[in-house]
Amino acid sequence: MKRPFALALAAGLAFAPPAFSQGFSPEQRREIVDVLRDALKQDPSILRDALMALEQAETTAKADAQRAGIAAQAAALFRNPEDPVKGNAQGAVTIVEFFDARCGYCKQMEPVVDQMLRRQKDVRLVLKDLPILGPNSLLASRALLAAQRQGKYAELHDALMKLREEPAEPVLKREAERLGLDWARLRRDMDDPAVARRLEANTRLASALRIEGTPALVIGDTLVPGAVDLVTLERLVAEARDKRGG
């Protein structure tokens, strides 16, 4: 086997599926491994470059899969009339935020999002409760969706995102009453099966998009995992606006 061909083949074989390598004889495989080992000793950057290419390919494939998932779930993501909305309800650019009321990074993200909404008047923010951090997260999400029935979702949402204590039931009661909510009605609505179904739908949607934590933002056709700063957020909004042609 000629050495240049063996070297090129060895580099490809190192990252090829197992079935691919089975097409060679034992002697050929030994020669390929020897060539690769010798090449790596002489120039370790071969492995670095191969790993970087593999990582880039995986990143590209993941982004493509996420864009396809967003397109497939567009109606549930962007056009569910039950979802609470902040900002411009008729905005040209929609951001969907999956959040947990107990999530520290979500709380960190909250003033950034609020500032962006004040600056970007054509942005519509859709809020998706995703209680993944335990029983009090679930309790808070149920309270929020129940508060929506009294027209106070945004107010309770803002209060809970500023909260620095656990949103246990006594705390929820205190915050709800402070905001003028009917606690007895709110508590009944929290146990409504329809509220549970909405949270289950959010969980299924997050799973379909391979969301693994909160916060997670969907901006246009881009999924953004984790908190970002104002500059990054506004850049992503601008990119989504440009793709819409506006």
Q: What is the DSSP string of 192-239?
A: -HHHHHHHHHHHHHHHHTT--SS-EEEETTEEEES---HHHHHHHHHH
- Nearest 10 degrees: CA dihedral of 63, 65, 67, 72? -170
Contact present, 189 and 198 (Cβ < 8 Å): no
State the pLDDT at residue 222. 92
CA angle 75, 109, 189 (to 5 degrees): 60
Which helix (H) or strand (E) segment holds residue 3: the answer is: helix 3-14
At 211 the pLDDT is 93
The pLDDT value recorded for residue 117 is 97
pLDDT in tens, the chain (246 residues): 444 444 454 555 555 555 555 667 888 878 877 887 887 788 877 767 767 776 676 656 666 777 788 999 999 999 999 999 999 999 999 999 999 999 999 999 999 999 999 999 999 999 999 999 999 999 999 999 999 999 999 999 999 999 999 999 999 999 999 999 999 999 999 999 999 999 999 999 999 999 999 999 999 999 999 999 999 999 999 999 998 775
Identify the CATH class of 74-244. Answer: alpha beta
Distance of CA 23 to the CA centre of its chain: 41
pLDDT of residue 87: 96
Please give the pLDDT value at position 159: 97
| pTM across the whole model | 0.76
Spatial separation of the C-alpha atoms in residues 130 and 201, rounded to whole Å: 10
Task: Tell me the domain boundaries of the chain.
Answer: 3-72, 74-244
Residues found in the chain: 246
Res 16: pLDDT: 53
Give the residue among 124, 148, 139 at the shortest CA–CA distance from 169: 139
Are 146 and 186 in contact by the 8 Å Cβ rule? The answer is: yes
